[in-house]
Structures are given as structure tokens and as C-alpha cells.
A and B are shown apart, each in its own frame.
Chain A
Amino acid sequence: MGSSAAQADYAAFLEKFIPNYMGPRNIAECALVEMEDVRQAKAVLSEISQFPFMMSGMPRPVRARPAQVEMFDERPIKPGRRIQCRWLEENDPDFEIAREMKRLTNKHAAEAAFLQKKQLQEEEKLAKQQLDTLKGNYKKYEMVDSIMADGTARRLARHYNLRVAED
């Protein structure tokens, strides 16, 4: 999911993984990749979105999206930004709303975690299914291979009076 990747044709710089402290360990990791210029970056983005981009031939394609400021770890403080904070008094009219917001924040986090979990389950399901298919396919090819190899195919061909190309 969501990883940026570099086209083999382009030079990519400064690859850095975004650490994942929060979620389960097996969610997709993300990396920041810097391209040489805007044109390349755009090309990479569009190509990756059009074709499934496989790394090392793995079926789960890598995706790309433009990086955002918040994705960077060591970034300077935005100049001119003023942050204020204060402790709300308990009799503040907004106190209850603030409480509610805190509750909502927790709820949202829980929802996100749940969705994450759900998504992982789906991924797992798909992966399992694909693996089964893959194994089935592999078995099929192996079988084909083996009947060719051990002469079964030729015997059968003779038996049925068929001509099988020997090459």
C-alpha cells in the first residue's frame, strides 16, 4: 500500500522508510523517495497508477503518491505559526464539548484501528486465495511438465495415434 517507488529508468534518491510505530507490523510500509525533478516524479506517479508495479515480481503492486509535508520526520517548524494553549476550566461552557471531542478522538482512533484490522484480514484472505491458486497452477504446470518428461505424453500419443511434435 501506499509506498512510493522509483521507476528503474529513473534515478531515485534518499530513500527513507517511514517508521510504523502504531499499527500492526504487517501493514504495508511506506518510503519516501526523492526523484530528480518534478517531471520524473510525475511520470513515476502516473505510470505506477496505470500499471501494477511489482517489486521483485511480487503480485502485490506498489503504489505511489505525492509526498506531503507531514510525512517527513525532521522538518523545521513552520515559520510564523503561533500555537496557543490553555487549560479549560471545568465551568467553561466548552468544557463538556471538549470532553466530547476527546471522546470522539478516541473513537476515531478506534475506528481507524478497526478498519486497519479489517483491511488486514481482507489482505490475508486474498493472499491465501492467491496462494492457493498459485499452488494449483504450479501443480498443474508441474504435472504437465512431468508427463512430458517421463514419456507418458508420447505413449499416449502413440496409443491414440496422434502425432506429437517432438520439439
Chain B
Amino acid sequence: MVEVDTKDLAFKWGKQRGVGGKDKKVRFFQSFSYGSVEYALYDCVYLYGEGETEPYIGKLIKIWENPDKTKKVKVLWFFRPREIQYYVGVEDTAKDELFLASGEGAGLANVNPLEAIVGKCNVVCTSEDSKNPQPTEEQLRTADFIFYRAFDVGHCRILDKIEEKVAGVEVKFIFNRVEAQEPNVVLELDSAKKEVFGNAVASNKTEFPLKKNPSKEHTTQKSNVISINSLWKENADTNTSLVKQKSSLREQPAYRIRVESKISKTNDRQENISLDKSALRSVDFPIKGEGRVVKNLVRNEEKLKSSHDCNELEDRPSENVICVRIEEKVKSIHDCGELDDRPSKKAKLDCSVKVFGDKKEKSVRKLPVDLSRHDARGVGTVIDFEDKSRLKLVKDSRGVENGPLKKLKLDEKTKPFDGKNFVKSEKGKSSRDCSELEDRPSKKAKFDGPVKVLGNQNEKRGQKIAVDSDLIDAKVLPVVTACEYKYRLKLAKDSQVDEKGSSKKLKPDENTKLSNGKLPRASPRQFADEDKKFDHQIMEITRRPDADKSKWFRAIPWEDRMKSANELGTLVLLQNLDPAYTSAEVEDIVWHGFKENCRAKMIQRTSISSPHCGQAFVIFKTREAAEMVVKKLDEGCLWISNGRPLVGSTGTPCFPEKKPTFFGHFAIDKLRYQMPREMREAVSTSHCSQPNTIEYDMAMEWCLLQERSDFCWKQLYKRQGEELKILKSSLKSN
């Protein structure tokens, strides 16, 4: 490791965590910043290793300053697959996969001078561990590396699971963090929304599109069969979906969540269809108290749950299906669960639920029992209640914290809900949603999206939410809609209140992206299979995320990279670009068009380059990506602004193995060897030749040839230009 001048002014300590060592002279820190980059504990960083072509990658697990002012960091290592190849054969490693050091022994972690850090590294944990907030697609795409397995340095073996504690660090610090990063916010919201949408549809059709629990689907089908109780079930669905929705919304740790619950009424006496409405979360800037709130909720929830259980048992028709389904959901939720405070991304759905989820475990446990005993009917109810109560609770606490208070009534009775008012219904237990959301206008936008997706009808329905219990579908949908509608109202209402934050605007294309129903989870690698999923919206080419990532390392010369890329099949030649584009713009276009990161290089113009069409070599990360791009460009048509469909082909650059003879440079061999004295002493010169030499005559011949070929090129490009022009004029869109 290299010592660098530590007196750099760009360096600043962040928050101090404590002191230690002898005489308490060692100061431990939470973070530090260097230049404009802030490094915090548990960040992943690149470290300079002398003699290494690639930087080491590690996670900061301790940061301190010794009494002698030397700065140290303790680093938990990540291994690149080739680093552990020697010890263990690892197959099927992704190119960007890392292995977390684990176990005990050399190589787990080291203390290094802080100055060895060369930059931040974006490492995303894709472990399916329930405690790991799953990364979003976006994050995966922008990740430098991913990991989900560990390498036990003691036993030299691969662990498929991350242990509870690694190098004394709790696993929650190793998994993804819960704080959403600014740039991701928009996307996450969107995905949440998407899910909402999915749910709504699902309840409408009694089908769950969610892939998560296959069994869920199964149950839904069953539910169809059981027509009697389908109402109930529907409700349950809605509930659950709402809950989920809520949860998903809620998930963003960085935001404040408001939950509002509504009860809508049904005429079905027997069943109260209580619909929980979902949780709205108002998106706000990160609040500290979040964790606490959640916890409270959870606790409350539990209590409520228990109290309600009994009530409900009697009057509900039993629904195995529901139970099952709920249970499943619960489970899944719960899976994801334990981590309240992790930064999560993927987990939008799950997490939110999860948050509640801990408590839920109990209920889950209960479920099986119930099922056996009461055909699960009771269980269903219970669960239902739980959901509801949860919602309410959430709401409650919210209110307490910083909103107007909301009273919750849990009940079986439903209130008719027409757009704005809730009426309490028969049993007098009404729930009111008092939650005021502080919302940003932008939130509104968010909600609108889903509503639209649902269809126009919803809008209508939103206003009258009288629900016919007979029409299951209708009912369910309206409920959902109602929620949304309400949200909107609220939003509108509350927009005055808002605390302002930086506004996140949804871009239209992002919205649409959402609507194509992909789960956020899809990883970039799967992307290739999802052909045709592109929306046909116009994309404005902007800088792609992390485009300006600082580069600490001297780039490998392009020629070398291109050569190896050519061997690996990751090189693609793009044609028909505007010659004025720069390499960076080409990279951006590729990012927007294919969601792939790449390195691009525009081919520089020379005297014989076409003025109509620019070319660029593009290197992708994987061969699959390159092939996908070529295929997609071949089949589809990526239309770039000024009327240019992009053309892609597998690049075949030529490399300077052996330079062939360059015509027009001659030498008389004999003379070369017996070089006259004058020439040896003369400096090689360039000159305009005199007309009285042989060279001059020869040069004239060359000039003639050059003129001729210039003319040819000119004619060729002129004709090509005309052809293009004719074709362009036939474009319908012009």
C-alpha cells in the first residue's frame, strides 16, 4: 500500500463515533470526505494495490485516526473470482460478481492506510436472503459489482449464504442499505406504483400477476371456484393487495409514510367488506424517526390483532383460500422482513410488508393452527383484520407523529365511501382516515399514473364507491380506485401543506416503463430475454447514471480493449450515427436504448470518411449484451432524432499486426545499404520537391491519382447523400 501525502486539504473527517485505545487517543469516525466524495462506514471502496492492475475492493468496517495522526481503515475484502480461483473452482460466476470474505483467517480483513482508498465502488448485494433489501433493476444496472456469495477464508470454500456476522460486522451492514439514494428515488416510486397497479388488476381478475408466490395464483384460482365466498375473498385480496401496496409504498425508508385507511361499505351484511385502503406514503425527505414509527406500529398492530381475532371469527365465511393466500403473503412478507432499517431497494413490496412483518410472524404461525381448527375461516378474518389494523395503526402513529390525528376504528362494518367522505356504518365502528398526507405535487403525479393504467372506468368509480357486493369485480376495483381517488384528493388537498423537498419529477417515459409490468426485480442480465419490452416512447438522451463516475485508474488503451473485446465477442460496430456525436453521447444512446452500459468510441473522421454516417465501436460488458444489441437493432429499429435508424453489426476492426507496404514509398535497396555520407549526416527532411528531379515527376503522378480518387469519393458521397435524401423525404412522419 502506498503512503500518500496526508496533508491534502481536500480531506475532512466526518462525524466522530468515539475514542479508544490507550489514553483514549484513537479517534474513531463514522465518515470522512475526500474532495467531493464522502465515504461512510460500510461503504465499498476501491483500494490501490501496488503492482496490481486492478484495484482491490473492500468494505470499510472501521475508520480511525491514530494519535500520530495516521489515518487507518479496516477493510473487509471482496474477492474477485480469479483471486480465489486458486483455492476453489468457481464456476458460473458473473463477470461482475464478487465474493465477500468470510469466516476467519488471513484475507478476511486488513487494516490499511486510509490513503490507499482510491474511490468508491458500487457493490450491490443480490443475496436472496430475506434480510437483504433487494436491489432494484436500476441499481443492478448501475452497480459496478454484485455479490451474493461469500468465500470462507479459513476453509477456502464458497458459502452460498452470507453469515450472520462477518468479521464482527453484523450482516445488516453487509447487505444493501436501506437509504434510498437520491437518484433512485424516482424509479423506486415508480416501481411501487407499478406494483399497485399490478395488484389492482389482480384483484379485479382474481389473479395475481406477482411472480413471487406461485401458490398464490393457485389459490386465487381456487377462489374462483368457490363462488360463495368470493366476495369475501375479493376483499381479502384487495386488502392484501392494498396492504402490499401500502407496504410497498411505505417501503422507502427515506420517506415518510402516511397511511390512510378507508373502509368501504358493502351491502353484504354478513361480511363486512372492509377494505383497507392502502397506505399512502407521502414522499418526503428522509426523516430520522422513521424506524421508531414503524416499530410502534408493529407493536400496536399486534395488540389489535389479538383483540380482533375473536370478534371476527364468527361472522366470516370461511375461506381457506384466503387464508392460504394471506398466509403466503404474510410469509413472503415476513421473509423479507427482518430488516427494518436496511436500505432496501428491491424490496419494495416485500419490505414494506416486512416492516410490519416481524410481528406477523406470529400470525403466520397461528395460521396453520387456525386452519386446521376452523377451516381457516377465522384465520382469514384474523388476517384480514390484521391487515386492517395494521393500516390503521400505521396511520395512527403517523398521525401522532406529525399529522393530524386519525382515529381508527377497526371494524367489521363498512362505511360507504363516496369520494370524499366516509360514513360510518352500521356497527359504528368506523374508521376514518384522517391521514393527512403531506405530499408533494409530484406525488400526485405518481398516483395518477396508476389510475390511468387502470382505466377510465376507475375514475368514474372512484367517485361513487358504492359497491355492489354481487359484482365482485366491480367491487374490488372500485375499492382500489377509491383509494387512489382519495389519494388524489388528499394530494390535492395537501399539496399546500407540503414540505418541500427537491422535487422528483416523473418522466413520462419512466412512467410508461413501469407500466409494462416488469417486476423491479428483474436483473439486467435477464434483460436480454425480455425483448420487445421496449416502450416506443421517445427517449430524451440524457446523461446516464454514473456516467461521470470518476476514473481513478488510467484507462487501458482503447486498442487493447477493443482487441480483447473483439476476441470476447463484446464488440459492436454502430453505424449511421450522426458524425457529430461524441463517444460519450453514443454511450448515452446505448444506455437509453438498451439499458446497457458500454464503452464507446466514435471513429474519428478522416478525409475519406462519409459525411453522412458516423460509426462507433462499442464494447459491452458481456457477449450476451452485445449479441442482444445487434439482434435488436437488426429486428427492430432504434430511431435517433434526426432521422437515423441505428445500425449495428458485430465489429471487426483491423489491428496492426504487420503493417503492409505503404504504396508510394520507395527505396533502392542498394542505396539503402551504402548510404552516402551526406545522407547519414543529414537530418531527414521534408520538402516541396523541385521540378527538375525524378521524384517530382513521380509526385506529379501521385497528385493526379489523388485528385482522381478525391473526385471519386466526392461523387460517391454525393450520390449516397442524394439517395438518403430521397428516402428521408418519403418518411411519413415528416
Contact = CB atoms under 8 A, between A and B. Distances in A.
Given A54-B687, A102-B637, 9 more contacts: A51-B689, A56-B684, A59-B699, A85-B638, A87-B637, A111-B716, A119-B712, A123-B664, A126-B663
A63 B686 CA distance: 12
A165 interface: no
Nearest to B604: A18
B604 to A, nearest CB: 5
A54 B695 contact: yes
Contact of B612 (A52, A65, A82, A108): A108
B700 A52 contact: yes
Contact of A70 (B534, B575, B580, B644): B580
Interface stretch (B419-427, B430-438, B701-709): B701-709
Nearest to B679: A57
Contacts of A25: 654, 656, 659-660
Contacts of A5: 686
A70 B614 contact: yes
Contacts of B605: 18, 68, 70-71
A123 B575 contact: no
B503 interface: no
A84 interface: yes
Contacts of B562: 21
15 contacts: A18-B604, A22-B603, A53-B686, A54-B689, A55-B686, A57-B685, A59-B695, A70-B605, A71-B605, A72-B604, A83-B640, A85-B539, A90-B636, A104-B724, A130-B664
B568 interface: no
B637 A99 contact: yes
B664 A60 contact: yes
Interface string B579-592: 11111110011001
Contacts of A60: 663-665, 699, 702
Contacts of B589: 83, 85
Nearest to B635: A90
A76 interface: yes
B70 interface: no
B551 interface: no
Contacts of A63: 607, 706
B692 interface: no
Contacts of A71: 604-606
A84 B639 CA distance: 8
A111 B541 CA distance: 31
A13 interface: no
Interface in B592-627: 592-593, 601-610, 612-615, 617
Nearest to B632: A87
**Looking at chain B's contact residues, is the secondary structure mostly helix, strand, loop, or mixed?**
mixed
A83 B724 contact: no
B538 A86 contact: yes
Interface stretch (B294-302, B397-405, B726-734): B726-734
Contacts of B209: none
B390 to A, nearest CB: 42
Contacts of A162: none
A5 B637 CA distance: 42
Contacts of B668: 134-135, 138
A7 to B, nearest CB: 8
A84 B539 contact: yes
B644 A101 contact: yes
A56 B606 contact: no
B604 A83 contact: no
A88 B665 contact: no
B161 interface: no
Contacts of A115: 712-713, 716
A20 B606 contact: yes
B497 interface: no
B693 to A, nearest CB: 9
A108 B643 CA distance: 16
Interface string A95-117: 10111111011101101100110
Given A52-B702, A105-B647, A134-B668, A88 B585 contact: no
A140 B128 CA distance: 85
Interface on chain A toward B: helix, strand, loop, or mixed SS?
Answer: mixed
A116 B575 CA distance: 18
A27 to B, nearest CB: 8
B703 A23 contact: no
Contacts of A57: 685, 687, 689, 695
A60 B700 CA distance: 9
Given A83-B585, A111-B720, A101 B576 contact: yes
A30 interface: yes
B641 interface: yes
Given A65-B607, A88-B536, A97-B731, A82 B641 contact: yes
A152 interface: no
B664 to A, nearest CB: 3
B664 A58 contact: yes
Interface in A14-63: 18-28, 30, 47-48, 51-63
Contacts of B733: 93-94
Contact of A88 (B639, B661, B687, B730): B639
A70 to B, nearest CB: 4
B666 interface: yes
A8 B603 CA distance: 30
Contact of A100 (B576, B601, B727): B727
B526 interface: no
Contacts of B695: 54, 57-59
B156 to A, nearest CB: 44
A78 interface: yes
Nearest to A32: B604
Given A21-B617, A60-B702, A119-B709, A51 B688 contact: yes
Contact of B613 (A62, A72, A108): A108
Interface string B633-673: 00011111101111101000110100111111110100000
A112 B671 CA distance: 39
B543 to A, nearest CB: 9
B310 interface: no
B685 A85 contact: no
**Closest 6 CB pairs between A and B?**
A60-B664, A2-B607, A59-B698, A52-B699, A51-B688, A127-B663
B225 to A, nearest CB: 40
B688 A89 contact: no
A1 interface: yes
B530 interface: no
A137 interface: yes
A93 B732 contact: yes
A30 B639 contact: no
Given A85-B638, A93-B733, A101 B702 contact: no
A87 B638 contact: yes
Contact of A85 (B641, B661, B684): B641
A23 to B, nearest CB: 7
A104 B647 CA distance: 10
Nearest to B715: A115
A8 B617 contact: no
B604 A26 contact: no
A120 interface: yes
Nearest to B579: A70
Given A54-B686, A83-B640, A88-B645, A73 B604 contact: yes
B540 A82 contact: yes
Contacts of A87: 534-536, 593, 636-639
B696 interface: yes
A77 B654 contact: no
Nearest to A130: B698
B643 to A, nearest CB: 8
Nearest to B732: A93
Contacts of A93: 732-733
B686 A59 contact: no
Contacts of B716: 111-112, 115
